Amino acid sequence: MSQVFLKGLVFGLGLVVALSLSYGVYRVSSGFTLNPAPAATPSESQASDLDRTQPDFSDLSIEERIARSSVIFVGRFEDAPDGKQRAIISEVLKRDDGAVFPFSLGDEYHRASIYPEPGVNYGTGVIVFLTGKEASFKASVSVHADRVFGLGDMPLDLFREKCSSDV
């Protein structure tokens, strides 16, 4: 009786493997993808086409970065007792009407705070670019003294002017 059971078990496993392989070959030949995208509405399709044609944020000119940002602020690093450098919002350079930004001057912006590596100079602060109505993080550049290192060593005062002229 156990031999009949084993023969049936082997036959069943063989059948499952054969059917699985056949189904796999069928799906591959019919253009199957593991993570099919949901059907896009025309507006979603157009938006994804725009995303592919637009340059990366870091490739934009300073003026274009400013124009595309809904909020731009300066965060100054303050030392915390645990060795962390907290990015404290010290100045809001740009804030579009209607942009949702739940922070105020003096608040820590955790995403820009860091635990520095010994011997590495992260500067005295950071400029953070947020985009969209919900003002989500897009990019940041470091500030060393009063120069924006990540924007060609631009003086911070000149960057402030560029932000205020965009309004």
Across the range 6-34, mean pLDDT stands at: 61
Q: Report in angstroms the alpha-carbon separations of 92 from 26, 99, 127, 133.
A: 57, 13, 10, 16
Domain ranges within the chain, ordered by starting residue: 1-34, 57-166
For residue 45, the model assigns a pLDDT of 47
Tens of pLDDT, residues 127-166: 999 999 999 999 999 999 899 988 989 999 999 999 997 5
Residue with token string 């450098």: 85
What's the topology of domain 57-166?
OB fold (Dihydrolipoamide Acetyltransferase, E2P) (2.40.50)
Contacts 24+ apart (CB under 8 A), 39-48: none
Cβ neighbours for 116, distance < 8 A, ≥ 6 positions apart: 83, 85, 122
Tens of pLDDT, residues 61-79: 999 999 999 999 999 999 9
User: For the chain, how long is the longest CA-to-CA vector?
Assistant: 90
The encoded tokens of residue 160 equal 């402030």
Contact 89, 73 (CB under 8 A): yes
SS3 content of the chain, % helix, strand, coil (to 5): 40, 25, 35
Q: Of 92, 69, 91, 63, nearest to 139 (Cα)?
A: 69
Across the range 90-98, mean pLDDT stands at: 95
3-class state of residue 15 by DSSP: helix
Cα gap 84→113, rounded to integer Å: 7
Cα gap 75→143, rounded to integer Å: 9
For residue 131, the model assigns a pLDDT of 95
pLDDT band at 34, cuts 50/70/90?
very low
